[in-house]
Structures are given as C-alpha cells and as structure tokens.
Structure 1
Amino acid sequence: MGMRDFGAAGRFGQCFLIVVNIWFAILGIGMIVLGVVVRSNRGVADNRIIQMLRQGTLGGLNLGDIIVALSAIIIVVGVFTLLVSADGGFGACFRKKGLLVVYVIVLVLILIIELAAFILWCKFYFGTNNWLKEQFNNLLRFYNGVQGATDVYSNGWNTMFILLDCCGSSPISTFRNDFVALQTYWWSNPTRLQDQIPYSCCKEATIQNYRFGRNPLCTQAGQQQLYRPRGCYNAFRELFSNFSAGAIALSVLLIVTEILAIIAAILMIRAINKEKRGSLDTTNSNVYRKGVHEIPLPDSKPR
C-alpha cells in the first residue's frame, strides 16, 4: 500500500499529525515547566501562606486549594500532552489505526479537562477581583501579631509580608492603615505596645528574625523608607497575573491545536479504512491488489 493509494486527505492528516505532535511535545514540556514554577515559587507555595489562604472560600472551594489544584492540573495536562504526542506521532508515521484511535480518545478527554481548567482559571483571573480583595480584607482581620503568634492567620500573613515584600491588604499610608481600618485582632492585642504596623512589615525583617526583632523607627514612627510599601493584594495579584498570562496563552494555543489534531487524526483513520477496503479489486474478484501490483489468483488467466 503506497502513498498513492492513501488519498490526499490521508496524506495531509499524516503530515499534519507528525508536525503537530512535535509541537505538542514542546507545549507539554512548557506546561510542565510552568506548573512546576508556580508550585515552587516561594511567594505562592509556602505552606504557611497556603494554609492561611485556605480560610477564604469561592463557590465551595478555598483560595489555597484553587492555587494548588490549578498548578497541579497544568503539570498533569503537560505530562499527558507529552505522552499523547508520542502516541500520535508513532501512529501517524507508521499508519497504525489502533494508535490513532487511542490518540483521538485520549485527546478528547484531555481537551475536556483543559477546557474545565481554562474556564476555572479565567473565572478566577478575570472575574474575581472584588472577591479576591474582599477575601484578603477578611483574612487580615484575624491577624494577631508577630511575637508569640502561632495561629494560621498570623503565620500566613507574616510570611506573605516578607516573601511578597508587602504590608497589609492595601498599601499602608498616612491616610490608611489596614490594621486599624479593618479592626484586626492585632490592633487590640496588648503585645502591640505602640506599634502602628507589625515588624514583619519592615524591610529588614526576614523569616529568621521577624518573631524577635523590633525597630520603632519602622513600626512606630512609620518612616517610609523602612517599611514595605505595597499592599499584599496588589503584590499577590501581580504575581498571579505573571503566571496567568503564560498559562492562558499556552492553554488557548494548546486547545486550538488539539482540535485540529483530532480532525487530522479522524481524516487519517478514514483514509486507512478506505485504503484497506480498496485492497480488494471490486472490478475483478479474481485479482487481489497488494500495494500497486496485481497478483493473479490460481483460476485466472495470465495477462
């Protein structure tokens, strides 16, 4: 069976699948790298921050689990994309119908997962600004301080202040101090003394020293050059936006490419079926076509 018998649609599907599965392999590697980067970034993946973010909910899901789940989905989809690209590439190169059928089925399942993850990601990225800001404000109300504070909220916020280089939910200024405006537990905590902001908001504070350090020029006098100027909502939103832009671009490109690959694979499967049906000469029942050569059967007369 030669390429001449395979048909234009089959040849197109074969060439397209070989090229597109090389591209799939590259995209799959890209998604794996992106998911690993999101999970390993200290500003997002620190367990103390995740535990604190889990106290906020969205439609039955909490913010911490959404972040972990989305990064995990990206990695899983990337791995499956890499494996499926190998299946589709071999199926296209060697015209293996079985591999191509598996390829189409798995690709459809991956496409469904990707669409679900894409919708969830877009809903979280584009449609939850007000919700996310409200969650940050609500979570900060439970903040209880630095020295001796071991609760989930305080540990999470102190870690976020340092790792994301921020302070409060909104930027701290002479006109607004979230620790006062949101009536946080810390503001009524006697261990606060005269501090206007916690020490973890000071630029000199680190994960190692924030529980024991003090700097009245920063925490009481509020000298601007000494404390962290950004609000944590803006810092988190900026960090998440950087990852989201890459994830959304990759997802859209991958979804469109997968739809085209499914169409090409179906065209190739149809061409393989047609090629097999055409191997028996319908004009002469005594002749069996093998490739491009006609082989006379015993009861036929030689030409």
Structure 2
Amino acid sequence: MGCGSTFGKIFLVIVNTLFTILGLALLIIGAIVKFKKDLVTEYAAELFKVIKLDAADYNLDELLGSSAIVFIIVGVVILIVGVLGCFGACCGWRVFLVIYAIIVFLVLIGEIAGVILAALMKSDVDKVVKTGMKKSIAEHYKGDTSQEPISLAWNSILIEFKCCGVDNYMDFKNATNWNKTINGQQTPLSCCKAISGEFPNIKYPDNTDCATNPQDSDSYYMKGCYSAIEDFINKYSNIFIGIGVVLVIFEILCIVFAICVCRSVEEGEKMV
C-alpha cells in the first residue's frame, strides 16, 4: 500500500462524490428546464418582474432551451468523471481509474495549452475579441431603454466599468439598430457619469448633455470598455492566478492519487 494509496482513496472518493452530486444536480436542473418549460417560464417571468424587466421582450423558450442544453451537457460530463473517480477508487476498478486519470490529464493539458496560447497570441486574441464586441454593438445594440439581452449586457458593462464602447464612443456610430431617444445623441446615456442606483434599477441624469455633447467632466465617452475590463482583470490578477494554481495542483493530485490507487490494486492482485 505505497504512495499514500489509503489517503488517495479517501481523497478521490470524497472529491468525486461531490463531483457526482454536482453533475447530477446540473443534469436534473437541465432536464427540468428542458422538459418542464411551462413551470420554469412562470418562475422566470416572476423573476423578471422582481428585477423590473419585461418578460415579453424575451424569447424565454429559446433562452431556457439553450440554458437547459448547457446544463445537461456539463452535468453529464461532470457526472461521468465523478462516477469514474468515485467507483474506481472505492471499488478498486483499475479501468475506471485509468480512464479517469486520462480525462483529468487531458483537461489539465487543455488548460495549460489554452493559457500558453492566449499569452503567445495575445494580440490576435485581442483583435478577435474586439471585433466580436464591436460587431455586437453594430448589429444588436438597441439603446438605453431596450430590454433585449445584448443591449442589457452592454448597458450593464458601460455602467459597471464606467466606460463607453469597445475603444471609445465612436463604436456606437455603427450601431444600426440603436433607437436614439434624444435628438443629436452621440453616446448612450449609460456612458454618462451622473447615474444613480444599481443596474438594472438605475436612474439616468435629467440633463442629457452628457449624451448629446459629451465632455470628460460628465461622460466616460473616451474610455473604452475593453481596456477597462483588462484593467479589472489585471487588478485582481493575483487572485485569478492563485485560483488557477490551486486548480492545477488539485487536478495533479487527482491524477497522482488515481495512479497510486491503481498501482496498489495491481500489487494486491499480484499478491493473491
């Protein structure tokens, strides 16, 4: 019983039992959303009322259907990994442990490769992300009062990150679906500084000069959201790095303990 196989078994059983429960919960939630849409739609509509949004402006069936598929797929994957690790460890099933270790190893390699590629191709990544963000404004942004999901998302970003557009307010010049509620409007009201309340329950300023003739004193019109989001990530980079390191160590432990338990089972079989 070498390399901490007893502790390894306990570790794998506890961790993967939690994974199994999580995967099963996500699968059940996804199934309920998928096959009990009437029930979920009723609760979703009530939730929209609480946060003062109009459910009539949303295709709830499409929104819930997409969410359900994501929950089901993620739930199934986590459930399979959890079952393989849990039963492989507690029952000494080497095949399960080998498959489990391979899956976790592939996930680990994928994460490391993703980080390396993102670092090496940062300029390309920036370009792709910026292009996508600008396209979403150009094709889907409908204004400050719109309750369409993409418009809401953009207004939330503008307010929370105190910014305007991807690079600056000029990105809104290409917003073909923007319903301007003010004559001569240059920026969304969400770019103004004098906004009170918390999104989505916010109050725009009565003086709309900040949107028609924006100045540094009353608007974030020259501050791009892409750089603002980058600044936010950099500000908390140590936390993100710490979480990443803990996750990598955790995955390595899962692989090492799976190998240890597998070897222990093999040695036990040889002794019989």
Structure 2 length normalisation: TM-score?
Answer: 0.56
Residues 244-268 of structure 1: CA deviation (Å, up to 9, x unaligned): 5355324422342233223312321
**Cα RMSD (Å) of the superposition?**
4.7
Which residue in the other structure is 2:138 paired with? 141
What are the residue-to-residue correspondences of 1:43-54 with 2, within 5 Å? none
- 2:2 corresponds, among 11, 31, 35, to 11
Shift of 1:144: 5.1
Residues 253-292 of structure 1: CA deviation (Å, up to 9, x unaligned): 234223322331232122111111xxxxxxxxxxxxxxxx
Which residue in the other structure is 2:57 paired with? none
Identify if the C-alpha distance between structure 1 residues 181 and 11 changes in structure 2 by more than 3 Å, giving closer, same or farther.
closer
Which residue in the other structure is 2:244 paired with? 248
Contact preservation (8 Å) 2:144, 2:189:
no
Shift of 1:132: 1.3
- 1:232 corresponds, among 182, 201, 225, to 225
Identify if the C-alpha distance between structure 1 residues 271 and 228 changes in structure 2 by more than 3 Å, giving closer, same or farther.
same
Identify if the C-alpha distance between structure 1 residues 121 and 78 changes in structure 2 by more than 3 Å, giving closer, same or farther.
farther
Identify if the C-alpha distance between structure 1 residues 200 and 117 changes in structure 2 by more than 3 Å, giving closer, same or farther.
same
Shift of 1:27: 9.9
d(CA) in 2 for partners of 1:114 and 1:27? 19
Other structure's SS at 1:167 match: coil
Which residue in the other structure is 2:188 paired with? 198
**Residues paired across the two proteins, number:** 218
Which residue in the other structure is 2:175 paired with? 185
Other structure's SS at 2:186 match: coil
Structure possessing the higher radius of gyration over alpha carbons? 1
d(CA) in 2 for partners of 1:85 and 1:231? 46
Identify if the C-alpha distance between structure 1 residues 196 and 102 changes in structure 2 by more than 3 Å, giving closer, same or farther.
same
Which residue in the other structure is 2:211 paired with? 219
Which residue identity is paired with 1:90? C
d(CA) in 1 for partners of 2:104 and 2:224? 38
d(CA) in 2 for partners of 1:18 and 1:190? 62
Which residue in the other structure is 1:265 paired with? 261
Contact preservation (8 Å) 1:199, 1:215:
no
Identify if the C-alpha distance between structure 1 residues 190 and 89 changes in structure 2 by more than 3 Å, giving closer, same or farther.
closer
Residues 139-175 of structure 1: CA deviation (Å, up to 9, x unaligned): 33336552665666544422332344432112xxxxx
d(CA) in 2 for partners of 1:198 and 1:88? 56
Which residue in the other structure is 1:21 paired with? 12
d(CA) in 2 for partners of 1:247 and 1:158? 29
Structure 1 length normalisation: TM-score?
Answer: 0.51
Contact preservation (8 Å) 2:8, 2:257:
yes
Which residue in the other structure is 1:275 paired with? 271
Shift of 1:221: 4.1
Identify if the C-alpha distance between structure 1 residues 165 and 262 changes in structure 2 by more than 3 Å, giving closer, same or farther.
same
Q: Please list every run of 5 or more consecutive structure 1 residues that lacks an aligned counterpart in the other structure.
A: 1-9, 33-47, 49-64, 92-96, 171-177, 277-303
Identify if the C-alpha distance between structure 1 residues 272 and 134 changes in structure 2 by more than 3 Å, giving closer, same or farther.
same
Structure number with the higher helix fraction is 2
State whether structure 2 residue 161 is matched by structure 1 residue 167: no
